[in-house]
Structure 1
Amino acid sequence: METMIPSRLSTLGHPQRLALFRLLMRRYPDEVPAGELADALGLKASTLSAYLSALLQVGLVTQAREGTSLRYSLDMEQVRQTLDYLVLDCCRGRPDLCAPLTLTPQTGTPAMTDRKYNVLFICSGNSARSIFAESLLRKQAGDRFNAFSAGTRPGSLLNPFAVAVLREKGHDISALRAKDISEFSGPNAPKFDFVFTVCNQAANEECPAWEGQPVTGHWGLADPVKVDGNDALKALAFQEAYGALKHRIDLFTALNLDSLSRLALQSKIDDIGQQTYEDLP
Structure 2
Amino acid sequence: METVIPNRLSTLGHPQRLAVFRLLMRRYPDRVPATELAQALGLKPNTLSTYVNALMQAGLISQERVGTSLRYAIDMDATRGTFDYLLNDCCRGRPEICAPNVYSAPVGVRPMTDRKFNVLFICTGNSARSIFAESILRDLAGDRFVIYSAGTRPRSKLNPFACQVLEQRGHDVSVLRPKNISEFQGACGPVFDFVFTVCNWAANEDCPSWPGQPISAHWGLTDPVKVEGSDAEKSLAFHQAYGALRNRMIAFAALPVASLDRLSLQKAVDGIGHSTDEGPSQ
Short-chain TM bin: over 0.9
Secondary structure class of the residue paired with 2:3: helix
Q: Determine the structure 1 residue equivalent to 2:87.
A: 87
Cα root mean square deviation, aligned? 1.6
Letter in structure 2 aligned against 1:202: A
Find the aligned partners of 2:106 and 2:226 in 1 and give their Cα distance: 42
CA deviation profile, 1:18-77 (whole Å, cap 9, x unmatched): 100100111111111111111111111111000000001111111112222211111111
1:188 aligns with 2:188: yes
Q: Determine the structure 1 residue equivalent to 2:275.
A: 275
Report the CA distance shift for 1:59/1:101 in structure 2 as closer, same or farther (over 3 A).
farther
Equivalent pair of 2:106/2:258 in contact (CA under 8 Å): no
Find the aligned partners of 1:276 and 1:95 in 2 and give their Cα distance: 39
Secondary structure class of the residue paired with 1:273: helix
CA deviation profile, 1:126-155 (whole Å, cap 9, x unmatched): 000000000111111111111100000111
Report the CA distance shift for 1:110/1:225 in structure 2 as closer, same or farther (over 3 A).
closer
Letter in structure 2 aligned against 1:189: G
Equivalent pair of 1:119/1:195 in contact (CA under 8 Å): yes
- Percent identity between matched residues is 67
Secondary structure class of the residue paired with 1:122: strand
Secondary structure class of the residue paired with 1:143: coil
Report the CA distance shift for 1:12/1:114 in structure 2 as closer, same or farther (over 3 A).
same
Q: Determine the structure 1 residue equivalent to 2:97.
A: 97
State the TM-score, normalized to the length of structure 1: 0.93
Q: Determine the structure 2 residue equivalent to 1:236.
A: 236
Q: Determine the structure 2 residue equivalent to 1:30.
A: 30
1:15 aligns with 2:15: yes
Report the CA distance shift for 1:125/1:110 in structure 2 as closer, same or farther (over 3 A).
closer
- Greater relative contact order (Cα < 8 A, sep 6+): 2
State the TM-score, normalized to the length of structure 2: 0.93
Letter in structure 1 aligned against 2:222: A
How far 1:264 moved relative to its partner? 1.0
Aligned 1:35-50 pairs, distance under 5 A? 35-50=35-50
Find the aligned partners of 2:95 and 2:27 in 1 and give their Cα distance: 31
Moved more, 70-79 or 88-97: 88-97
CA deviation profile, 1:91-130 (whole Å, cap 9, x unmatched): 2332220122795xxxx64475442111000000000000
Aligned 1:174-213 pairs, distance under 5 A? 174-213=174-213
Secondary structure class of the residue paired with 1:120: strand
Report the CA distance shift for 1:113/1:35 in structure 2 as closer, same or farther (over 3 A).
farther
Equivalent pair of 1:84/1:102 in contact (CA under 8 Å): no
1:136 aligns with 2:97: no
Report the CA distance shift for 1:57/1:113 in structure 2 as closer, same or farther (over 3 A).
farther
Letter in structure 1 aligned against 2:89: D
Aligned length: 275
Find the aligned partners of 2:118 and 2:150 in 1 and give their Cα distance: 13
Find the aligned partners of 2:51 and 2:165 in 1 and give their Cα distance: 43
Q: Determine the structure 1 residue equivalent to 2:63.
A: 63
Q: Determine the structure 2 residue equivalent to 1:2.
A: 2
